[in-house]
Structure 1
Amino acid sequence: MPDRTDFSTIVFDVNETLLDIATLEPFFDRVFGNAAVLREWFPELILYSQTVTLSGLYAPFGDLAGGVLRMVGDNRNIAIQDSDVSELKSLIGSMPAHADVTPALTKLRDAGFTLVTLTNSAPSPAPTPLEKAGIAALFDHHFSVAEVGHFKPHPSTYQMVADRLGVDVSSLCMVACHIWDTIGAQSVGCRGAFIARPHNSILHVPGVPEPDYTSHDLAKLADQIIQAQKLTE
């Protein structure tokens, strides 16, 4: 853990970091007869979001989610219906928050940090997924990569947040359960905080930045950040 903190804004990933994608398992169990296919579909969704960005392309995250669902279905010789795609999109927009989210956000707000979200998902009409989860009001701002037309971890996504807030990227700390997200943020000068949700681990490779903070519990991760801030007071 670093011995000090010089950032004032904490940027949260949304899907899986704050909202529990495990609640999608019954859908995958119904469609594929195997709830574990969720863990095939979601990494593929991330892979192809990054692929379109590297290729200079862009499509809304929800459209990619449906397309990847159909692709996984083709791979498994299961016909995906339009109604299946619609159901998945609806479920994605209604995922609950993890139990440790509200306590962690409350601690960080009380400690004086600015809290914002940065999601690969496109903006949605009210009630938004975070509003449905009951945590939207705990944040000061909400940002979507749709504004720059690139998915995380493209550098422009993190720079966009800094620009919109009128701060330097070094004033940001990215919180995510996806190590590719913290790596991307740290590569442009942000701090990185990793929450180890199930099926997510740190990548240990020489020359690749590891998170400044890490925990299996978001409230404990918040405690680490707050304690580091106190060391500078």
Structure 2
Amino acid sequence: MPYAIGFDVYGTLVDPVAMGTHLQGLAGDQARAFGQLWHEKKVEYAFRRALMEQYQDFGTCTRQALEYCLLRFGLNLSDQDQQRLMEKFGQLPAFADVITGLEALRKQGHTLVAFSNGPEAAVRGLLHNADVLPLLHDVISVDALRTYKPSPRVYRYLMRRTDGTPEHTWMVSSNPWDVIGAKCAGLKAVWVQRDPASLFDPWDVVPDMVVKDLVELSKRWE
């Protein structure tokens, strides 16, 4: 039976650490470390805002995380240059396996949606630029709920939007916390372990499937 599949965007479909290429002129040899911290910090800020019920959209979390990183690395950047850097988030590349993997999954008859903490318009633009958008049936953002993954409300919203049931709705993510959140909400979940050295959180929750990329996922469901 075909599934409804929600794909995390940042880190699963597109590579946020690729921002390092845009940071070379600013951070030099520390560009990749800057990009990694920026990604981690914006996710942390979303978590905090969800817990405190002080919602601001993901763009705000991203901008504030940038400001933190500039302080952390002792760098200065004008507001105008910060905005130009923020715009680069709309130009992140898809991982090499994503197009092929999504094409195969779509041919298998599954309903494929992007499911993101980012605002819908920004995510659509990002996925359009990465040539991923035409392969998806929809883009679903948490923005309508004014909270963030891994809130259980968010994963239930994915099921409602896709007319799915817990046993036939899957979350696909490279983020262990996202997988755990989906599982705790009753969904099925795939962990995309892009880095063999990455670890899954040692909770009493395990993914239903572990794959190295979306091509492997499509083959597992042939």
TM-score (norm 2): 0.91
Aligned residue among 96, 114, 125 for 1:128: 125
The answer to whether residue 73 in structure 2 is matched with residue 50 in structure 1 is no
Report what 1:11 is aligned to.
6
| Structure in which a larger fraction of residues adopt helix | 2
Per-residue CA distance 1:197-229 (angstroms, 9 max, x = gap): 24972325241x1211112222012212x14xx
Distance 1:150 1:108, change over 3 A: same
Q: Is the 8 A contact 1:97 1:133 kept in 2?
A: yes
Equivalent residue number for residue 76 of structure 1: 73
Normalising by structure 1, we get a TM-score of 0.87
Aligned counterpart, 2:93: 96
**Deviation at residue 102 of structure 1 after TM alignment:** 1.1
> Residues 92 and 46 (structure 1 numbering): CA distance in 2 closer, same or farther, change over 3 Å?
same
Query: Partner letter of residue 26 of structure 1?
Result: T
Determine the C-alpha separation between the residues in 1 that align with 2:63 and 2:196. Answer: 22
Q: Which amino acid aligns with 1:122?
A: P
The 10-residue stretch of structure 1 (27-36 or 52-61) with the greater mean CA deviation from structure 2: 27-36
SS in 2 for 1:128: helix
Q: In the alignment, which residue of structure 1 is the partner of 2:194?
A: 197
Structure 2 distance, partners of 1:88, 1:189, is 38
Q: Which amino acid aligns with 2:160?
A: D
Contact 1:177 1:197 in 2 (8 A): yes
- How many residue pairs match? The answer is 220
Contact persistence 2:180–2:206 (CA under 8 A): yes
Q: 2:123 touches 2:139 (CA, 8 Å); kept in 1? A: no
**Which ranges in structure 1 are unaligned for 5 or more consecutive residues?**
1-5, 228-233
What does residue 40 of structure 1 align with? 37
Unpaired runs of 5+ residues, structure 2, are none
Q: Which residue of 2 aligns with 1:230?
A: none
Q: Is the 8 Å Cα contact of residues 16 and 39 (structure 2) preserved in structure 1? A: no
> Shift of residue 25 of structure 1?
0.6
CA distance in 2: counterparts of 1:199 and 1:40, whole angstroms: 20
Q: Would the alpha carbon gap of residues 193 and 79 (structure 1) be closer, same or farther in structure 2, given more than 3 Å must change?
A: same
* Structural RMSD (CA): 2.0
Change (3 A) 1:214 1:125: closer
Amino acid at match of 1:212: D
